[in-house]
Each structure stands twice: as C-alpha cells, then as structure tokens.
Amino acid sequence: MSESAKPHHPHPQGKGEKNHGSDFSYVGIDAILEQMRRKAMKQGFELNIMVVGQSGLGKSTLMNTLFKSKVSRKSVQPDPEERIPKTIEIKSISHDIEEKGVRMKLTVIDTPGFGDQINNENCWQPIMKFINDQYEAYLQEEININRKKRIPDSRVHCCIYFIPPTGHCLRPLDVEFMRRLSKVVNIVPVIAKADTLTLEERDFFKQTIREELRANGIDVYPQKEFDEDAEDRMINDKIREMIPFAVVGSDQEYQVNGKRILGRKTKWGTIEVENIAHCEFAYLRDLLIRTHMQNIKDITGSIHYEMYRVRRLNESNADPSMLVTRK
C-alpha cells in the first residue's frame, strides 16, 4: 500500500494539547494534567473561610478586599442599627465568584459577638461546635448507603483570627481560642488595622506573638509537621517567619501615580493595601488564594476532618447508635 493510500484515523486534539505525532517514544501520560484541569473547571471550586475577632477590627472590610467583591455579611445584609449580640452568633453567606473562566463558591462565616462581652469565658465553644457540626454533616453524607456523587462541603477550611493592634502581647482570650481551635481547623492569625502601629511597634508585636504561640504550643497554619518535603519546608518557613500578617483592609479606590489602587487616605498620605512596603495584605492574599488554597483544603480533609471521623467511628464501635443519632 502506498503512503498516500494508508488509512487515516483522525485523533481529536484537545485544547492546550500538543501534537507529539513525530515523537516515537511519546505515550501521553502528561495529558492527565489537562484532563484534570478540564474536570476541575467544569466542577468549580469551594472555599469556606471563617473570620473571628471582636467588633471593629475590620473583618468585613478585609474579606471584601481579599476578593475585590462585596462578599462580607455586612456588605450583603447591611443593618445600620445592628447591635452587639448578647451571645455569639454564627452567620454564613455564600457567593459564586468567577475569574477567567474559573468558578468558585465562596462561603464567608462570620462570628458576631465574639470577644465583645464583659465575661468572655468559653466564648470559643459555639465556634468549636459549629466547626464540628460541619464535620458531622459531611460524615453523615459519607456513610449513607446511597451517598451523593459529590458531597456538599461546608467544612471550615480556614479561620482568620483577628488580633487587636495593642502592640503589647496576646490577650488570654486570644491564647485560649487559638490553643483550642488550632486542633480542629487551620488558623491564620492577622494583626488587624496594622496602620495604627509604627513599623518598630509592628515588628516587636509580631515577634512577641510568635514567641507566645510557641510557648503555648499553638500550631497555626502552615503547620510544620505537615510539610511534605524540603521544598515545602523552605517555602513555609518563610511564611512562618512572617506570621501573624500585619494587614490593612480597604475597599476604597484611589489614583496614585496614574494607577488605581485600594487604600486608605490619611492627612499624611495614602496607605496602599497591596503595597508590601505599607502592610502585609499581599502576603495573606497569596497564602489564602494564590499559593496555598488547595493545601489548606487538603489539610482540612486529610488531617482535621480525618481526626474527627476516626474519633466518631471509635465512639460508634462502643455504641453503634451514636453514629446515627448524634447531631
């Protein structure tokens, strides 16, 4: 048979795939990456972030700044007469965000009332219960005989904890909350409204907080024990040296040197939120969204949720009715 008469079997080439027809040794294993990308793009992504801190620390503003959208509860459900609740309330609101064809369901969980009372004893308990309730809901879906193909994920992937910019040390409330909650969720501590501190005060405060975290055995994200290899450790060590992030949030736009920026205007000048010379917001954004989002979700599923699941299954071995009846 001549060359021109040979039967031709067309091979559909996917978008982004390279033609390796001339490479005799090529098998095509690398195409799995493109397949995974296409599947992920179809399914979209989920991210559940909890914000915890007393009133007036700019939690809503920071969330709006992070996603450059009105995603905070107060932005969507404004209440000009909102008063400090007598007990901690857990309120969540979800948004569908799309950027360059990538869809994400973002859920922001707010905790109004935390740290605002005269007596804040055990104020971490409703938050701990909420986090465990989400694990329980996921577990109940998992153990169903006819479970869903894709289980809705309401588990809290990350908790941003807002530290008041006192410049001195952590309060007993801060220590107790992070000590208990770091065992069940990824905690990322931030110094709120960091523009109220001088650079020297900020550096001293950050160093003091890191020492207090170590002294109290508080392991915030990224946890050293979960570094996968030397490269991970090197990257995460740099992040650990910066924690807590000193942040400033603003959803106000200004023109600076012909460029649109997010910032806060004072009589001394404009504080540029995304300028690392002014604050560490950009480092926080990169950690949560651009570099570690998937890792944060992986640790939630493979470490925190897994510990909860094992504990509950062990309980059910002792008393089988507990796995079904507990809510």
Per-domain boundaries in the chain: 41-71+85-249+277-313
**pLDDT tens string 269-288:** 889 999 999 999 999 999 99
**pLDDT tens string 85-128:** 656 789 999 999 989 889 999 999 999 889 888 778 889 999 99
Contact yes or no for 190/162 (Cβ under 8 A): yes
Q: pLDDT at position 18, please?
A: 58
Is residue 209 helix, strand or coil? helix
Q: pLDDT at position 88, please?
A: 79
Contact yes or no for 261/272 (Cβ under 8 A): yes
Check pLDDT > 80 for residue 19: no
Q: pLDDT at position 194, please?
A: 95
104 forms beta bridges with: 45, 97
Contact yes or no for 296/221 (Cβ under 8 A): yes
In this structure, the number of other CB atoms found within 10 A of the CB of residue 72 comes to 24
Amino acid at 200: E
Check pLDDT > 90 for residue 160: yes
Distance CA 132, CA 181 (A): 11
Q: pLDDT at position 51, please?
A: 96
- Mean pLDDT in residue range 289-313: 96
Q: Mean pLDDT in the chain?
A: 87
DSSP assignment of 219-253, as one string?
Answer: -PSSPGGG--SHHHHHHHHHHHHHPSEE------E
- Mean pLDDT in residue range 124-140: 96
Q: pLDDT at position 107, please?
A: 95
What residues contact residue 144 under an 8 Å CB cut-off, 6+ apart? none
What residues contact residue 24 under an 8 Å CB cut-off, 6+ apart? none
Q: Does domain 41-71+85-249+277-313 have CATH number 3.40.50.300?
A: yes
Lowest-confidence region among 16-25, 176-185, 225-234, 265-274: 16-25
- Percentage of residues in the chain with pLDDT exceeding 90? 61
CA distances to 82, 236, 239, 323 from 225, in Å: 42, 11, 14, 30
Distance CA 138, CA 155 (A): 8
Q: pLDDT at position 101, please?
A: 87
Distance CA 274, CA 263 (A): 8
pLDDT band of residue 313 (cuts 50, 70, 90) is very high
Residues in the chain: 327
Contact yes or no for 88/70 (Cβ under 8 A): no
Check pLDDT > 80 for residue 75: no
Distance CA 178, CA 186 (A): 10
Q: pLDDT at position 35, please?
A: 92
Q: pLDDT at position 327, please?
A: 47
272 forms beta bridges with: 263
What are the percentages of helix, strand and coil residues in the chain, rounded to 5? 40, 15, 40
- Mean pLDDT in residue range 143-149: 88
Q: pLDDT at position 1, please?
A: 47
Lowest-confidence region among 6-10, 38-42, 55-59, 199-203: 6-10
